[in-house]
Chain A
Amino acid sequence: MRWSQTWSQRSSRTTTIAAVAVAVAATALSGCAGSGSSGGDAPGTQGFTPPDVPMQKTVGKGEGEVSILAWPGYAEDGSTDKAVDWVTPFEKQTGCKATVKYFNTSDEAVNLMKGGQYDVVSASGDATLRLIASGDVAPVNTDLVPSYADVAPFLKDQQFNSVKGQMYGIPHGWGANLLMYRKQDVATAPTSWSAVFDDASKYKGKVTAYDSPIYIADAALYLMKHQPDLKIKDPYALDAKQLDAAVKLLKEQKANLSEYWSDYTKQVSAFKSGSSVIGTSWQFIANLTNDETPVGAVLPKEGSTGWSDTWMIAAKSAHPNCAYKWMDYIVSPKVNAQVAEYFGEAPANLKACEETSDKTYCDGYHASDAAYAAQLHYWTTPIKQCLDGRDVTCTDYAEWTKKWLEIKG
């Protein structure tokens, strides 16, 4: 009795407080509702107009610091490996103290860039257009970036890094997602992605997959080569039926997985301990694993999905001068070569090929081979307008996201 009385008195009072809180929060939020509109139409439609963000005219004196959002391995400061450090020389050279934050997936990068505390970001093709469309990144004045002149021509003014001939970033490098395997457990080097799809049961409970909706494209690419009747032409342009087929394949794959990875350190430790023996990976992860556990990383015969990364500058960058200095520095021949060799990708700067420690490096990665680069299926954001030009409705990223959560169950 006593309890229930005090409870009801108390609860009526808490309701009032809660109501006030809701009202306060509502007014506070609605106050900024007007400014939060996402400008422009979806890309792919005629006349995609990004929000009007001013472009830098000159690069002045550095602000003393720069905040970098990067893929793991792109902005090493010696903390992973003492010999691998290009952030410290940058700090000495420019006086811009760099803070680096790594992200694991493009979705994470897009999300973190909304916060506005980062000056530059290394964005892959499935993040770039989203960042441009939401007005989180500014157009880049390539005249202020001397290194840009030496960037491979086939990376300039591309659909994923520019809008109407205006560049929104400086190309960094490109490469393919590889099939990594633990040599101790996988006797012969796999030649096909079937090792993680149709034949995955051979390594039941020891297969890994990348934890992001974009991984659906890997399944789609596999189906493109193995089930021609589905008529998949581009793994990022899937109609409902094709998406369902990819989802089905991934659900079957799940039974054979040990785990999904997005944190590269988790992938390294899983391969070192042997809890995973085969799965999609990056050259950089293979290198980190190889110091203890022999692993191989191959480009299977189906080709692969991959990335083409671009350094972009935040629209609200608090340190734009240091940000421009960083973009120029990181793509300069010597540093671009260092990063490319460390991460295992083709450098964007063609002059970087003269600076690599292994002189045949660029040939191995086909750095200047536009035809080869065109074969890789770079991460890009799926949208309703089919990217392969078909006249049907394709599934967009929101749908992929939903399906991905469903696959993971």
Chain B
Amino acid sequence: MTTAGAAYLHRHPRLRLAGVLGAPLTWLVVVYLGSLSALLLTSLWTQDSFTAEVVRIWTLDNFRAVLTEPLYHEVLLRTVSVAVAVTLIDLALALPIAFYMAKVARPRVAKLLVVACLMPLWASYLIKAYAWRLLVIKDGVFEHTFGGSPGLGLVAVVMTLAYLWLPFMILPVYAGLERVPDSHLEASEDLGGRPWRTFRSVVWPAILPSVIAGSIFTFSLSLGDYISVNIVGGTSQMLGNLIYAQQTLDLPIAAATATLSVVVMAIYMLLVRRTGALDRL
């Protein structure tokens, strides 16, 4: 029976393909694209001003509000700036650490360092965010140790997010550096390349795809974050907080706001694609 079944499948490659891809594809279409299109649909509706029920009347008012009102411009600009800052800080921190792990440390030490990088991921996100709250608040750890602290606010948000997403930058960069043969570095040195020149002309082009992979993590995770902003952000709000506040108050406009981050991510991916880095990933 089973052999007959197998033989039948063998003769019908399309059926075989459908069997393998069916489930994941259904999931992708229904759950992923389905929810995205539901989001888009909701953003084109309006709501009853009293009961907050979504009313299915077609309108572009939500998008008009999101595109024209200064509130959204400010919040979007703030959010993208935070995401860019977090990405740059993580990159600056990850490069030396990853380089040390891949090229300098002995294999045993390198393995230990990889574990050390992964360790923070074992602790809950919330615990780490609340730990940062205790670090930056008035009369907190920073103030007592360094005599000063940024306090609750955007600076604290950038610091917290940079800390939270650092492993997501270190790991791809480390993997990229591992793949750069030592002989390339030696060759560059033999040809008279100083460290900076070697980094710029040999290492950087080779690890750029990994850096971009890492930046997609740090950028997109920062773009959508609202919990740590809530915990360490003081009164400032980012796109995620705006959507979070709106989803209980006005779902259609929350949906319209949420498309903003989808658009920003799409633009980011298109820019990444233009660099050609994705080909070599």
From B48, which residue of chain A is reached at the shortest CB distance?
A: A38
28 contacts between A and B (CB under 8 A): A18-B37, A22-B33, A22-B40, A25-B41, A30-B56, A42-B50, A110-B248, A111-B52, A111-B248, A130-B52, A133-B51, A134-B51, A134-B53, A206-B138, A213-B249, A254-B235, A258-B234, A273-B134, A273-B139, A273-B140, A274-B139, A275-B140, A381-B50, A398-B47, A398-B250, A405-B71, A405-B245, A408-B237
Partner of A409, one of B40, B51, B74, B138: B74
In the complex the two chains form, is B245's CB within 8 Å of A258's CB? no
A266 to B231, CA, bound (A): 8
Report if A21 contacts B (CB, 8 A). yes
> What residues of chain A lie closer than 8 Å to B134, measured between beta carbons?
273
Report if B82 contacts A (CB, 8 A). no
Residues facing A in B231-250 (CB within 8 A) are 231, 233-237, 242, 245-250
Report if A165 contacts B (CB, 8 A). no
Query: What's the tally of chain B residues with a CB closer than 8 Å to chain A?
Result: 46
In the complex the two chains form, is A25's CB within 8 Å of B38's CB? yes
In the complex the two chains form, is B151's CB within 8 Å of A401's CB? no
> What residues of chain A lie closer than 8 Å to B145, measured between beta carbons?
none
Partner of B234, one of A111, A257, A274: A257
Residues facing A in B16-58 (CB within 8 A) are 29-30, 33-34, 36-38, 40-41, 47-56
Report if B137 contacts A (CB, 8 A). yes
A contact residues, range: 35 or more
Report if A115 contacts B (CB, 8 A). no
Chain B proximity of A329: nearest CB distance (Å):
29
Report if B276 contacts A (CB, 8 A). yes
> What residues of chain B lie closer than 8 Å to A33, measured between beta carbons?
56
Report if B104 contacts A (CB, 8 A). no
Apart from A396-B49, A401-B250, A408-B235, what are 10 other A-B pairs with CB-CB below 8 Å? A21-B37, A26-B37, A30-B56, A107-B248, A110-B51, A134-B48, A273-B134, A274-B139, A275-B152, A398-B49
A258 to B49, CA, bound (A): 31
A397 to B231, CA, bound (A): 27
Report if B105 contacts A (CB, 8 A). no
From A213, which residue of chain B is reached at the shortest CB distance?
A: B249
Leading 8 A-B pairs by shortest Cβ distance: A134-B51, A398-B49, A21-B33, A107-B248, A275-B137, A38-B53, A22-B37, A401-B249
In the complex the two chains form, is A20's CB within 8 Å of B41's CB? no
> What residues of chain A lie closer than 8 Å to B234, measured between beta carbons?
257-259
